[in-house]
Structure formats: structure tokens, C-alpha cells
Amino acid sequence: MKFNFYITLILAFAHFTANAQSQTGSVTTAAKEPMSLDDALEYAFVNSANIKNALLDIQIAKRDVGVTKSQGLPQVNADVTYTNNLAVPTVFLPAEAGGFIGGGNGGQQPASEDEVALRFGIQHQANASVTATQMIFDGSYFVGLKAARVFSELTQKDYLLTKSNIAEQVSKAYYTAMVNEERRQLVSSNLMRLDTLLYETTMLYENGFAEKIDVDRIKVQLNNVKTELSRINRLAEVSLLLLKYQMGMPIEEEIVLAESIQEIDLEEEPILEDDFSYQDRQDYAKLMVNQELVQLDIKNYQMQYLPKINLTANYGYNSGADEFGRLTNFDRWFNLGSAGVSLRLPVFDGLRKHHQIQKGKLQLQQIENSANLLRNTIDLEIVQSRVQLENSLENLAVQEENMALAQEVYDVTRIKYQEGVGSNLEVVDAETSLKQAETNYYNALYDALIAKVDLKKALGVLVNENEQNQKAE
């Protein structure tokens, strides 16, 4: 049965959390107030590691927008350089050029009758300057700025999708813990009922009104229920561990459920598909944002065919001397400066941009195919979850009626047995049937609760819009 499948998963989780607890040590915490499902969701939306990382991604995306914006602002750099020409380079010039440059012999060394070796430069040189560049026009910049903002929107969608997944996991874990707690109380009452029946049958046996086999039958039932109670007790504890894990709560921290099965009305809030939009599903909304990013990527490559215009300016001072100490004489520092405009016009890049644009168009086709598939998948999920919920509710009503009938049969059978007109075997059979009816009822209830969560998720209303945007802002 499906419920037994979830039991297996939870027991496996218990083994994992037990190992984790032994490694992390113990944390002493004070007793907590009972938590409703809304309280558990609110706690998870604040403390889940996945939620925290999704919020950090939003902040990172905002910083990326700032980085992109900064590229359009003036870029100013200051440079100070010092050069020690340990060996001043020498150039060779015609003899008449050397005389012209040096005047007289110009300090040159004769290399031959036709050439002279001229010392070109001095040993110590220094330079201090400020350079500024301002973008005038770059089509890729404006597209990139918009893409950065769209990427920021993508992180918002990631956050909302993460929040929806957390809501699903916490809701299912809460319902599992709640059903297991109810089953624990049920098995405890069954144990008390059998214990009373055993006492009464033992008294009848001791007074000769019952046989020993009657007592033995009830003891077997009692032992089985004791074993079941031990198993349910452990299962209920593990269910709470699973709930805390999904909430992002430390495993050692105490948690008490505030809600019970009796407070749940599965028909209280009918779920309608009339106002459904695919954009309500965050996975679909995220895919549409990805589509917009690819479109902007294509536009960015197209804008790279346009020229780029930049304004540049430079101003500074330089000096030089054969003795280092003379550099401190600021009378020997001379100013320099320039300003200009640069125009860069792309001519031919080997068809690189052309291929990048064609690649982007193919990616758009992929996204469109994925969107069609996702829409069909969503439609199927809605139909399946709606049918599953209707079947679960119908089965729940039947099992509830069966449980009431089994309780009535047990009560009548026990009265007949106490009055001496019924057999002990009938009482044991009625007890077994009642226990099975109760088990079937809680399995059906669990299935209905999970089906309702699945339908809400399929419709994208598991977390309403106000709650979705609360933390994102």
C-alpha cells in the first residue's frame, strides 16, 4: 500500500538522521509552542537552507546588475611609474645626423667615418598621469544591462520555485506526522480495549464460563498490538524528524503539532482550475524568463555589428635625470595631456557573430519545444491530481463508513459475548476487522491529504502570491 511505501522511506530517513545526530552532537533547546501547518511553513521559509541560498542568489543577481551598470560610467585610472635604465640604449645614426642632433660632436661616439653611436635616453625616468575613458555608444552594453535585469528576475523565479517545493515537502511531512500521531493514539486505544477484554475473558475462564483457548486468542491479539504500538511509536518519532529536516529545524530541537486529523476538512476549500494560468507554475514562468534571456543574447550579437564610440582623456607629468636625486626637483617635471574620440567599426570576424545568432535561434526553438512539452505535462498533472483527489475522497468516505460499521459490529459482538450468547472467536474476529477498518481509514485519509497537496502544486497555488513575494522583496 502507498502508506507502507512512505513508512519505508521514513524509516530509511531515520537511519540517516540517527547517524547525523551522532556526528553533530546534541543541542539543548527549550520546549516549543505547538506548531500548526502554517507555522511550520513560515518557519521553513525562513530557515530552510535552500530558501536562504535562493535569497542569496537574488542579492547576487542585484550586484551583477550593478556591475553591468558600472561599465557605462567613466573609467578613471591613476598611474605612477618609475624606470631605472640600468643600461641606456644606444642608437646608430649617420655621421651628419649625429652632428645635427648633438651640435658639434653631440657627445656621440664615432662608430666609423660614416656612422656615430648616440646615447638615446637617460638613466632615471618618472611619470604620473590620470586617464579617463567614457563610453559614448556601445549597443551591447544596453542589451547587457537589460539582460542583467532579466537574470535578476530569473533568480526571483528560482526563489519562488524553491519556496513551492519547500511548501510541498513540509506539507506532506506535516500530514505524515499528523496521521502517524493519530495512528499511535488509535493503537493505544486498541491496546486498552484488548487489555480490558483479556481481563474479562480471564475472569470468565477462572469461573468456568470460558475456555483457555479463548484467553490465548486474546493474548495473541494483545501481543500483536503491543508490537504494532512500538513500531508506530518509533514511526511517529521519525515522522517528526523528517518534518524538522524539511523545515530546516535542528534535529535535536523539540516540535509539537498543533493540528489534528479532526480539524481537517478536505472539502472546506474546493480547488478550481477556472482561473489557472501556466504562469502560476514557477517552473513554466522560469522557462519563459530563460526564453527572454536567449532572445536578448541574440540581440546582443546583432548589436555587435554596430560601431563602438569612446571618449578618452589623459593628463600627467613626467621627468628624467641621470641622477636619481634630481627627480625630486619638481621644476624638472613637465606636464602632458591629450583628449580624443575613438571609433571602432567591426568589418569582418570570420562570421563568428553570424553563427552565434543562428545558434541562439536554435536554442529558442528548443525552449519553445520544452514549453509545449511542459504545458502538456502540466495539463496531465492537473487532470491526474484532480482524479486522484476525487478517488481518494470517495475512498475516504467509504472507509469512514466501514470503520463505523466495524465499530458497531465489534460493540454488538462484545455485548453478545458478555451476555453468553456469542463466542470469543466472534469477538476476536470483530476486533481484527475493526483494526483493519481503522488502518484502511487512515491510509485513505493520508492519500486524500497528499492528493490535495499534489493538486495545489499542479495548479501553482500551493503558496499564494502574497506569501511568494514576501521574502523576495
- The answer, yes or no, to whether residue 16 has pLDDT greater than 60, is no
- The domain limits of the chain are 2-70+140-306+349-472
Q: Give me the chain's average pLDDT, please.
A: 85
Q: Return the pLDDT at 272.
A: 66
Superfamily assignment of 2-70+140-306+349-472 in CATH?
Outer membrane efflux proteins (OEP) (1.20.1600.10)
Query: What is the Cα gyration radius of the chain?
Result: 41
Local confidence band at 325 (pLDDT 50, 70, 90 cut-offs): confident
Decide the pairing of beta strands 109-110 and 115-119.
Answer: antiparallel
* Ramachandran quadrant class, 107 (left: phi over 0; alpha: psi -120 to 50; beta: rest): left
What mean pLDDT do residues 80-103 have?
A: 76
The three-state secondary structure class of 92 is strand
* pLDDT above 50 (res 471): no
Q: pLDDT band at 10, cuts 50/70/90?
A: very low
- Per-residue model confidence (pLDDT) at position 121: 83
Please report the pLDDT score of residue 262 as a whole number: 75
pLDDT digits (tens, 9 = 90+) for 97-118: 655 554 444 444 555 567 778 7
Say whether pLDDT at 5 is over 50. Answer: no
Q: What is the pLDDT of residue 122?
A: 87
Q: What CA dihedral angle connects 299, 304, 305 and 308, to 10 degrees?
A: 130
Reported pTM: 0.79
> Region 307-327: what's the mean pLDDT?
91
Q: What is the dihedral of CA 357, 363, 367, 370, to 10 degrees?
A: 160
The values of phi and psi at residue 319, to 5°, are: -155, 165
Render pLDDT for 327-347 as a digit per residue (tens, 0 to 9): 888 888 999 999 999 999 999
| Residue 142: how many other CB atoms lie within 10 Å | 15
- Please report the pLDDT score of residue 11 as a whole number: 39
Least confident of 148-162, 256-270, 322-336: 256-270
State mean pLDDT over 370-396.
95
Higher-pLDDT residue of 82, 468: 82
At residue 30, does pLDDT exceed 60? Answer: no
Query: Between 169 and 324, whose confidence is greater?
Result: 169
Q: What is the mean pLDDT of residues 292-313?
A: 95
Select the highest-mean-pLDDT range: 20-29, 77-86, 198-207: 77-86
Q: Identify which of 169, 451, 132 has the alpha carbon closest to the alpha carbon of residue 313.
A: 132
Question: What is the per-residue pLDDT across 43-70, written as a single tens digit (0 to 9) for each?
Answer: 999 999 999 999 999 999 999 999 999 9
**If pLDDT is split at 50, 70 and 90, which confidence band does 268 have?**
low
Mean pLDDT of 415-425: 83
DSSP track, 337-398: EEEEEEEE-----TTHHHHHHHHHHHHHHHHHHHHHHHHHHHHHHHHHHHHHHHHHHHHHHH
Q: Can you read off the three cell numbers belonging to residue 399?
A: 472507509
- pLDDT tens, position by position, 182-240: 999 989 988 998 899 899 889 988 988 888 998 998 899 899 999 999 999 999 999 99
Which helix (H) or strand (E) segment is 147 a member of? helix 139-206
CA distance 299 to 305: 10
Is 113:94 a contact under the CB 8 Å cutoff? no
90/404: higher pLDDT: 404
Q: Who has greater pLDDT, 96 or 227?
A: 227
Residue 269's pLDDT band (boundaries 50, 70, 90)? low
